[in-house]
Amino acid sequence: MEVGWTQNIVILEADLDMEGRSWYLRAVRQFGWSSVPNHGSKTMDKLTRLPRWAFRLAGFFVNLWYRLLGDRHPDFCAVCGQFTTAWAEEFYRANPDVEGVLYRSYAGAMRSWRSDLFMWWQNLIIGLVEGENDGLVTAESAQWTGFQGVWRGAAGRGVSHMDEVDFRRRPLRRRGEVFDVVDEYIRMAAQLKELGL
């Protein structure tokens, strides 16, 4: 299909961040990241220092939880290494920002562990170790070049990682306010159009 575009725009969510940045680095004009652990996770640093048997046991229960959510092949233990602060630092040292590419990053934050049934325990644990987060990624870690702010959702409910990937396929409504992540992604595209990208 011919679209007539001579440039590429990539908007990535956390699961595709690392692959996206290294694969597309030289071929895109704009990167947009939504709740990507750009600086890694101090929680993962602590988890990966657990005794091997305890780490594997934790991985078993986390994998079970994600299977219940629909992930057919979760592998918590393998993924943890790429979420450490040391891994992120090395990755971005090897893959620095490219001149001429517009970077924008976004973060989400749950108001409390009660904000999302699916992300409550992750939010609670990460919150105890690192602070404000969306159930997987802290607002601090998501900040990168061109940071656009933290999505807070409708009436202070907050925005979870599940909301950011539009898991529920419906807007968040609370006390007459509405937050729809799809509208946020459309807004990203509109801003790019205004910039001539």
- pLDDT single digits (tens) 91-123: 889 888 888 888 888 899 999 998 888 889 999
Domains plus CATH for the chain? 9-194 (3.40.50.1820)
Number of neighbouring beta carbons within 10 Å of residue 102: 16
- Taking residues 18-38, report their average pLDDT: 63
How high does pLDDT run on average in the chain? Answer: 81
Mean pLDDT of 163-188: 77
Query: Is the model more confident about 156 or about 98?
Result: 98
Distance of alpha carbon 169 from alpha carbon 197, whole angstroms: 28
Q: pLDDT-derived band of residue 65, with 50, 70 and 90 as boundaries?
A: confident
Spatial separation of the C-alpha atoms in residues 41 and 82, rounded to whole Å: 9
Range with the poorest average pLDDT among 65-74, 84-93, 118-127, 177-186: 177-186
User: What's the pLDDT band for 192 if we cut at 50, 70, 90?
Assistant: confident
Q: Give the whole-angstrom CA distance, residue 197 versus residue 70.
A: 36
pLDDT tier, 70 (very low <50, low <70, confident <90, very high otherwise): confident
DSSP H helices, 69-147, are 76-80, 85-94, 120-129, 139-142
Region 134-161: mean pLDDT is: 86
Q: What are phi and psi of 103, to 5 degrees?
A: -110, 140
Q: Tell me how many degrees the CA angle 123-127-130 measures, rounded to the nearest 5.
A: 130
Residues 6+ apart with CB under 8 A from 18: 82, 91
CA atoms within 13 A on the CB side of 154: 14
Res 2: pLDDT = 43
Q: Is the pLDDT of residue 32 over 80?
A: no
Is residue 1 over pLDDT 60?
Answer: no
- Selected residue with higher pLDDT from 124 and 179: 124
Distance (Å, rounded) from C-alpha 36 to C-alpha 161?
Answer: 10
Q: How far apart are CA 90 and CA 84, in angstroms?
A: 10
Q: Are 162 and 168 in contact (CB under 8 A)?
A: yes
Say what the pTM is: 0.75
**Residue 104: per-residue pLDDT:** 85
pLDDT-based confidence at residue 169 (cuts at 50, 70, 90) = confident
- Locus of tokens 């290494």: 81
